[in-house]
Homo-oligomer: A and B are copies of this chain.
Amino acid sequence: MELLKFEKGRKGVVGMKLLEERIRRDGIIEAGEVLKVDSFLNHQMDVQLYREMGREWRRLFDGAEITKILTIEASGIGIACVAALEFGVPVIFAKKSKTKNIAGEVYSTTVTSFTHGNVSTVIVSKKFLHPGDRVLLIDDFLANGAAMLGLIDIVRQSGAELVGCGIAIEKAFQPGGARLREMGIRVESLARVSKLEDGLIEFID
Q: Mark A71-105, 1 if CB is under 8 A from B, else 0.
A: 00110011111101100101111010000000000
- Does the CB pair B90–A47 fall under 8 Å? yes
In terms of DSSP, what is the predominant structure of the interface of chain A?
Answer: mixed
Quick one: which of B81, B95, B124, B128 contacts A82, CB cutoff 8 A?
Answer: B81
Copies of this protein, total: 2
Contacting B at CB under 8 A, from A11-52, are 38-40, 43-48, 50-51
Is A125 in contact with chain B by the CB < 8 A criterion?
Answer: yes
Query: If A81-B78, A127-B39 touch, does A44 touch B88 (CB 8 Å cutoff)?
Result: no
- Does the CB pair A92–B45 fall under 8 Å? yes
Is A183 in contact with chain B by the CB < 8 A criterion?
Answer: no
Quick one: which of B43, B81, B95 contacts A125, CB cutoff 8 A?
Answer: B43
Is A204 in contact with chain B by the CB < 8 A criterion?
Answer: no
Docked pose: A127 CA to B92 CA in angstroms: 30
Query: How far is the CB of A93 from the nearest CB of chain B, in Å?
Result: 7
Is A1 in contact with chain B by the CB < 8 A criterion?
Answer: yes
Contacting B at CB under 8 A, from A174-189, are none
Closest 3 CB pairs of A and B: A78-B81, A73-B74, A77-B77
Interface contacts beyond A39-B128, A44-B92, A45-B91: sample of 17 additional A-B pairs, CB < 8 Å, sorted by A: A38-B127, A39-B127, A43-B93, A43-B95, A43-B124, A43-B125, A44-B127, A44-B128, A45-B90, A47-B81, A50-B81, A51-B85, A74-B77, A77-B78, A77-B81, A78-B81, A81-B82
Chain A: residues with CB nearer than 8 A to chain B?
1, 38-40, 43-48, 50-51, 73-74, 77-82, 84-85, 88, 90-93, 95, 124-125, 127-128
